[in-house]
Structures are given as C-alpha cells and as structure tokens.
Chain A
Amino acid sequence: MNALWAIIARDIRLAFRAGGGALQAVTFFALAGVLFALAVGPDIALISKIAAPVLWTGALLATQISLDQIWRADREDGSLDVLVETSDMLALTALAKAFAHWAATALPLIIAAPILGVLLNLPAEAFAPLVISLAIGTPGLSLIGCIAGALVVSLPRAHLLISIIVSPLYVPILIFGAGAAMSAPGDPQYAANLMLLGATVLFAAIISPIASAAALRSNLD
C-alpha cells in the first residue's frame, strides 16, 4: 500500500515538474476550445448547443497526449525494473499508474472545463452535467490508455499507434459522456447516460490493471 502511494505521489510530482505532461494536456485543451470558438464565429445559439460535445472531445484528445509516457518514461530510465522487482501484484501497480495519470492529466481538465464552458457560451444548467460526466468518464480514459501505453512500451515514438489503439475503445465513453453532458438533469436520458458511462468505466477498471500487467510482462521479455 505504502509503495502504491509512493508511485502515485512520484508520478504526480513528476507530471508537474519541468517536462511533465500535466500542463501539456490542459494547454492543449484550452487551445482547442479557444480555436473552436474562433472557428464557429458569432453564432451564439449554435456554439452553445455544441459546446458540451466539443469540450468532451477536446478533453478526450488532451488525455491522449501523455499516454505514451505512462510506462515508457519508466522503461527508458530503468525504473520499470524497480517497479516490477518490488511489486507484489503488477496489476495493482498498473492501477496506481493509471490513477496518477488521471490525477495529473484529467483532473486539471475537469477544473478547466467550466472556464472554457463560459467561453463557448455553455448554458447555465449544462455546467453541472458537463463536470459530473467528465469526473465519471475521464478515469476510464486513463485506465484504457494505461493498457495501450503498456502494449507499446518498447516502441519508440508510438504516439500515433496509441491513438489508433485507444480511439475505438474510447467511443463508448465519448458517446455516454457527451450524451450526459448534453442532457438536462431530471431528463431520463441524463441518468441513463451517466449510468452507462459509470458501467463502462467500472468495466475498464477491472480489465485495465490485468491487461496492463500482462502487456508489461510480455514486453519485458
């Protein structure tokens, strides 16, 4: 337990140090939102209608930026050997790594989303659904990304490959997440989308640690 907290604390600390991935993701997210607002122009009705799905897509793409660093940074400097050698259950180590990625990458996005929502004229009643759906859905993005990162850990410059692997797996999260963000609380659509989103993320939480550990083991050979 002690070791897992140490891994989480170290990864979050590294993400916010120079060269870490935390600011990259939130900067990308903010730029995407601003550029989109500029591209749509002065049609306020249109932009407020599509603000939620645009922000969801932006958040999804922003979390992909640092996925290839989850495991590869540790492999390149030899710390992956230390993680494997000291781990009682590699699956739990993978869960800790995914959690650290979420805390360092997705949490800043969730905080930034309402600010970008103002820029994109998001309707007042849509702020809570946006933040809640992001809070429930983004852990799934980190969990699935953790598997992809482990699969390509020994390949250099695997950004594109990771995007190709995770994009189809991200589709349910995007559909249910954006679906919840676009519906009003009280609407049966809202609850249904949130529950399906939660189910998808829980499924990923079970599969991801096991799959990541298996992928890492085969890559060590």
Chain B
Amino acid sequence: MNEQTPARSAPFKGVIFTVSDLAVSRGGRRIVAGVSLEAAPGDAIVLRGPNGAGKTTLLRAFAGLLRPDEGEVSIAPAAGGEGAGGASETSVFCGALNAHKAALTVRENLAFWAALYGAPTLDNKAGRIEAASAQFGLDPYSDYLAGALSTGLARRLGLARLVIAQRPLWFIDEPTASLDSASIETFLSLVEAHRQRGGLAVIATHDPLPLKGARIFTLAAEARAA
C-alpha cells in the first residue's frame, strides 16, 4: 500500500450537515424514527447498532437516496461559505455494493466515476484517478477486469470512489468488511486527511475504528417497533 496522503488537496468549502427528527420506512415498515444529529467540518460520526437497526437505511436517507417519511436532511454552507448545493453535489455514498462493473477493467471503472463525479470541479481528472489507484494499491491491477478481483480488492476499488469524488460529505457503509489490516490503516488515514481538509464522514460499522474524536451514534434495535 502506498503511504501517500491527499494532503496537497485544497480544503473544502465547509458544509454543515444537519438531520432533524428523521423517520424512514422501507417496504411500508418504519425502520428508524426520531434521528437528529448535526455535524460540522472535520467531524466524523460512527453509526453503531445491531443488524437490522437501520444503519444502511439511515445512510441512504442521509445521501438522498431514500425519501424520509418525516424530518429533514439538510446540507448548508458553513459560515462564510457559498452555496453548498444539495446531496447530489456534495456527498458520496459508498454502500455495501462496490458499484463497479465486472466487465470493465479497474481503470475503466475509475475513469467512469471520475467523469460522473467530475461535475463540480473538472480539474485534474487523470490525477484523481492516479491518486485513487495508488492510495488503494490498485496500480498493479489496472488492466484486470473488475469481475476478476478478489472480494477485498473489489472493496478497495469501491472505496477508491471516495478519493475520485472529491466531495466533502462521505457516507460509508461497512467500509472495513473484507479489508486486510494494511488497507484498513490506509482507509483510516484517508478519513483523517479528509477531515483535516474540512470534510465530514458518517460511517456505519461493527468494527472498532480508531478515529480521533469521532462521535458514536447508536441505533437501538427496538426503534422499528414504532
């Protein structure tokens, strides 16, 4: 793994991420209710809770991929910042699926994401692909079909999207599942560098991730009884 950090990247325009009294259902069943939290630039929030507590559902609602029943998710510019845009311009969602195409090579997948997430800042597309590939140790696999990667390598490819997207808000579901310990270290240093740039990260995980000053948000399983 390459130890290079994305420190040369410019800081983000700060955003404040606010969730007020959020309630979300899936398939007609209330999964979570009454969730409120606020995060400022540099914050990391770790979502915890037993299986079925609604961590993934909550992350999808944060990222604007699910419409909440009640409550509101808002992304506002921090003091002095210009318009932050909606979730569609400021956030990246890394779900349990890695969102890669098995029939494309690793490089083709990275290039596709760079084109999609390129909208806000079109600068240095090739550089972003290089950085993402190097940081997650994907360089030797550039020409492999993504379908031929092992589970752990595919997960690294999925997480490389975070580096490519260059967006301040990260919503990550179980990032460290199937990663080796060196990759977990890389991932953690990436999150720390992201926070130093003024980025925010919301991470759902069962693993004890040593993130400095991270706030733990625990979801209770019985929330669904509502």
Contacts and interface: CB of A to CB of B under 8 A. Distances in A.
Nearest to A86: B116
Nearest to B26: A221
A86 B119 contact: yes
Interface residues of B, number: 33
Pick from A2, A7, A82, A220 the residue with the most CB of B within 10 Å.
Answer: A82
A8 to B, nearest CB: 11
Contacts of A81: 60, 63, 65, 93, 95, 97, 99
B67 A221 contact: yes
A5 to B, nearest CB: 8
A85 B120 CA distance: 13
B116 A83 contact: yes
A87 interface: yes
Interface string A198-213: 0000000000000000
Contact of A2 (B95, B96, B113, B115): B115
Given A6-B116, A83-B116, A88-B119, A77 B100 contact: yes
Interface stretch (A12-20, A122-130, A156-164): A12-20
Contacts of A5: 115
Contacts of A86: 88, 116-117, 119
B6 interface: no
Interface string A10-35: 10011001111000000000000000
Contact of B95 (A14, A18, A78, A221): A78
B112 A6 contact: yes
B95 to A, nearest CB: 6
B103 A19 contact: yes
Given A84-B65, A85-B91, A78 B119 contact: no
A81 B64 CA distance: 10
Contacts of A19: 103
Interface string B145-162: 000000000000010010
B17 to A, nearest CB: 15
A7 B103 CA distance: 15
B66 interface: yes
A134 B214 CA distance: 60
A14 B93 contact: no
Interface string B85-107: 00110011101111111111000
Main secondary structure of the interface of A (DSSP, over half): helix
Contacts of A88: 88, 119
Nearest to B89: A88
Contact of B65 (A3, A14, A220): A220
Contacts of A17: 103-104
A85 B170 CA distance: 12
A78 B99 CA distance: 4
Nearest to B171: A85
B71 interface: no
Nearest to B113: A82
A76 B101 CA distance: 10
A13 B64 CA distance: 29
B77 interface: no
Pick from B66, B91, B115 the residue with the most CB of A within 10 Å.
Answer: B115
B49 interface: no
A10 B92 contact: no
Contacts of A10: 101, 104, 108, 112
Interface in A57-89: 76-79, 81-88
Nearest to A13: B104
A5 B108 CA distance: 14
Interface of A: 2-3, 5-7, 10, 13-14, 17-20, 76-79, 81-88, 217, 220-221
5 contacts: A10-B108, A14-B101, A77-B101, A79-B100, A85-B93
In order of increasing CB-CB distance, the 4 nearest A-B pairs are A78-B97, A6-B115, A78-B99, A17-B103
